[in-house]
């Protein structure tokens, strides 16, 4: 029965990208534990062969007084049989110069640009950035319950392994939503954790993301609104 559920999920997810509207806007509440940090807006645009994602935080209260709490991330690239294939990732905190990662798939190199300096390293066949990975599941479903890949935060590449936990019903500001839950494999308790819930009724887009820091602090973003154009 469990294998049947996984197979059904794969079939639904592979079909989802064909039906995905060209523009999707998701508004999130962003919290640290029970404390509200503000909201975030993420916009995905695609024409079937290329994509762009722009993420912008909107801090509130005293958090808004912290310049680096204002975060803008951008991911742009193409779409192939393995989902999203980033070409450039940008991460800007406040008025600081952005971190930029450029993916050269023909040369199999990723180049990081930071404050005028450039560094490059080998680019593996399957690699994403920290923004596009959450949306990749709407375009490509890994076979089985184990997904291994490389991902960059704009500074370096690291290897990750995500495991499918299964189907869960979430209570969200939009009501109850049927989701598929994936979790990052942690080799030890002090590793940073990550969990993502993909909405079955919304093209398997992310509706909840939880990051767990080394000290146990939990940062959560939960979708409050999804709109399509």
pLDDT in tens, 191-221: 889 999 999 999 999 999 999 988 888 999 9
Task: Report whether pLDDT(15) > 80.
Answer: no
Q: 112: which strand partners?
A: 101, 119
- pLDDT band per the 50, 70, 90 thresholds, residue 169: very high
Q: pLDDT per residue over 34-52, tens digit each?
A: 899 999 999 999 998 999 9
The residues, any chain, with a CB within 8 Å of residue 52's CB and separated by 6 or more, are 44, 45, 46, 74, 75, 76
| Residue 67 belongs to domain spanning | 2-228
The one-character DSSP state at 154 is S
- pTM comes to 0.89
Give the count of domains, the chain: 1
Q: Is the pLDDT of residue 81 over 60?
A: yes
The confidence band for 9, taking pLDDT boundaries of 50, 70 and 90, is: very low
Q: Indicate the SS3 state at residue 167.
A: strand
The Cα–Cα gap between 181 and 192 comes to 17
Q: What is the CATH number of the domain that holds 207?
A: 2.50.20
Residue 142: C-alpha distances to residues 58, 85, 132, 162, 193 (Å): 33, 15, 15, 10, 20
Locate all alpha helices (DSSP H) within 44-165, ordered by sequence: 133-136
């Amino acid at each position: 029965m469990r294998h049947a559920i996984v197979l059904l999920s794969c079939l639904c997810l592979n079909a989802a990208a064909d039906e995905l509207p060209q523009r999707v806007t998701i508004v999130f509440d962003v919290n640290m534990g029970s404390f509200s940090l503000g909201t975030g807006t993420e916009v995905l645009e695609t024409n079937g062969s290329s994509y762009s994602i722009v993420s912008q935080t909107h801090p509130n209260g005293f958090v808004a007084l912290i310049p680096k709490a204002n975060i803008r991330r951008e991911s742009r690239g193409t779409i192939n049989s393995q989902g999203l294939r980033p070409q450039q990732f940008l991460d800007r905190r406040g008025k600081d110069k952005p971190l930029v990662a450029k993916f050269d798939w023909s040369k199999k190199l990723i180049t990081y640009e930071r404050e005028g300096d450039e560094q490059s390293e080998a680019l593996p066949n399957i690699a994403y950035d920290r923004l596009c990975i959450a949306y990749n599941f709407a375009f490509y479903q890994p076979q089985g319950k184990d997904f291994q890949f490389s991902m960059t935060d704009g500074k370096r590449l690291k290897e990750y392994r995500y495991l499918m936990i299964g189907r869960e019903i979430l209570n969200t500001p939009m009501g109850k939503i049927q989701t598929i839950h994936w979790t990052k494999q942690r080799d030890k308790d002090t590793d940073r954790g990550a969990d993502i819930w993909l909405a079955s009724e919304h093209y398997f887009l992310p509706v909840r993301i939880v990051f767990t820091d080394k000290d146990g602090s939990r940062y959560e973003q939960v979708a409050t609104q999804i709109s399509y154009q």
